[in-house]
Each structure stands twice: as structure tokens, then as C-alpha cells.
Amino acid sequence: MPALAEIYWVQFKTQLAVQFQYRAAMLIWLLGRIIEPVMYLVVWSTVAAGQGGTVGSLTVHDLAAYYIVYMLVNQLTFTWIMWEYEYLIKEGTLSGLLLRPIHPIHRDIADNLAYKVLTTGAMLPVTALLVVTFEPAFHFQWWSVLAFVPALILAYLLRFLLEWTLAMAAFWTTRTSALNQLYMTAMFFLAGRLAPLELFPGFVQTLAAVLPFRWMVYFPVELLLGRLGVQEALLGLGVQALWLAIIVGVLNLVWRAGVRQFAAVGS
């Protein structure tokens, strides 16, 4: 375990230096993750204003709180590996990574964390500006704030490992963009990206609860905003842990099969 921690620290410092070389790209990606939730907030606030100040049970200030927290949670959990793996395999970069004494996933995790260290701080003044502008109605509870920490960690691991697993489709096809777009469409509707899930029909909410999408973003947002009871929070943490165990198992199976496929093609 200490050896792995040391490897992570070295990888993290290396990737931190690499990420810092792409400052313009980081800024563009960051702006995208800020503009999107703000755009939805403005749209839904306009809808609420036209309906007497509410959409469903949510007021304009509730919507502001939701999208501000969603923006932060999405920033802390998002990954981009699905869009890179095809390139890593086609260009032969993965071959070099397989020669290293550690699993390539550790490099990707360190890379992702390094990016977030460099960009999350920039989110804080933006968040403060949004709070002043939209006057969100936060209803934090001490226990839900504490429970938010493990929920966020589980959400990050769940999202990262699921997307890493899906990225390995590149072992069998040279074009993964269709699968990536299908996944992003599901995230758009089932993870609360377009709107809070309570504004969707019941069957959509059920589908989101059964599949892992809700637990990767929406659940931590609900929890931090104090919209869940203790039992609901514990159940959600349990579902996150269950999905994480399932995805770890699937990832290991797909990885072994994918490496065999990669070696067979390479030979």
C-alpha cells in the first residue's frame, strides 16, 4: 500500500506538470462545465417565473441551489477517458503503458485528479458569483454534509470505473464515438444534467434509480442539498457500493479479454 501511494504521488506530480502545459485547453473545458448548468438554470428559472415562481415543487431559488451544487459535483466526478482510449490503442500508446509494472488505470486516475486540482479552485469564485446573482436556497444539514463526502468519493469511483470500462470497447472497434454518445445521452437525462429528476415522469425516475446514472451525480447533489432523509441516504450509499462492486468485476473481465484481443491483433 505505501508503494502504491508513492507511485500515485509520482504520477500525480508528473501529470500535474503535463496538465499545466495545456492551460488554454483546461480553460475551455472548464468554461463548458460552467456555462452548461448556468444555461439550464436560466432556462428553468424563466419557466418557473412564467408559472408563478415554481416548477413542480421547486422554486427559482431551489433551482439555483440545485444547478450550483450540480456544477461542483459534476466537476469533481467527470472524466474524459472514453474519448481518449480509442486514440491510445490506435496510436500504440497503450503498448508502452502495458510494459509498466502498474495497471494503466492508476495513470489515468492520477491524470484526472491532477486536472481537478488545477481547475477546481477556479470554480470557487464562479460559485460565489452565482450565489450572489441567483440567491440559491440552500438547506444544508450537518449529517448530510458529512455523508456527502463518502457519497462523492463513491460517485467519482463509480463514474470513473464505468467510463473506463466502456472505453475499452476500443479493443474491439476502431470507432467508439457512437457508444460514447449513447452513454452521454443517458447521462443527460438520467443523471440530472438536463433537469432535476423529480421533474421527469415516474418511469424515467425509476430507470435512473435502477441504472447507475443517478448514483454518479444526482445522488450526491440531493444529499448535500438536504433533500434526503437518513434512511434514503444510507440506502443510496449502499446502492453506490453495490454498483461499484459490480462495475469493478465487469472491468476486470473486460480488461483481461481486451488485453488478449489487443495482443492477438498486435501479433
- Which pLDDT band, with edges at 50, 70 and 90, does 13 fall under? confident
The pLDDT of 65-92, averaged and rounded, is 88
C-alpha distances (whole Å) from 9 to each of 3, 99, 105 are: 10, 20, 14
pLDDT for res 88: 81
What pTM was computed for the model?
0.90
pLDDT at 41 over 70: yes
pLDDT at 92 over 80: no
pLDDT at 27 over 80: no
Sequence-ordered alpha helix ranges (H) in the chain: 2-20, 23-50, 60-77, 85-90, 93-98, 104-134, 142-167, 177-190, 202-210, 213-216, 218-224, 230-266
The pLDDT of 198-225, averaged and rounded, is 94
Residue written as grid cell 450540480: 70
The pLDDT of 193-220, averaged and rounded, is 93
Q: What percent of the chain has pLDDT over 70?
A: 95
pLDDT at 222 over 80: yes
pLDDT for res 265: 55
pLDDT for res 157: 96
The pLDDT of 244-253, averaged and rounded, is 96
Domains of the chain: which residue ranges? Answer: 2-266
* Residue predicted with more confidence, 239 or 175: 239
pLDDT at 267 over 50: no
Pairwise CA distance, residues 222 & 62, whole Å: 11
The pLDDT of 100-112, averaged and rounded, is 83
pLDDT at 173 over 90: no
pLDDT for res 116: 84
Q: Residue 54 — φ and ψ, nearest 5°?
A: -140, 155
Q: Which residues contact 61 (CB under 8 A, 6 or more apart)?
A: 134, 135, 136, 137
pLDDT for res 264: 58
pLDDT at 216 over 50: yes
- Which pLDDT band, with edges at 50, 70 and 90, does 4 fall under? low
**Cβ(6)–Cβ(110) under 8 Å?**
no
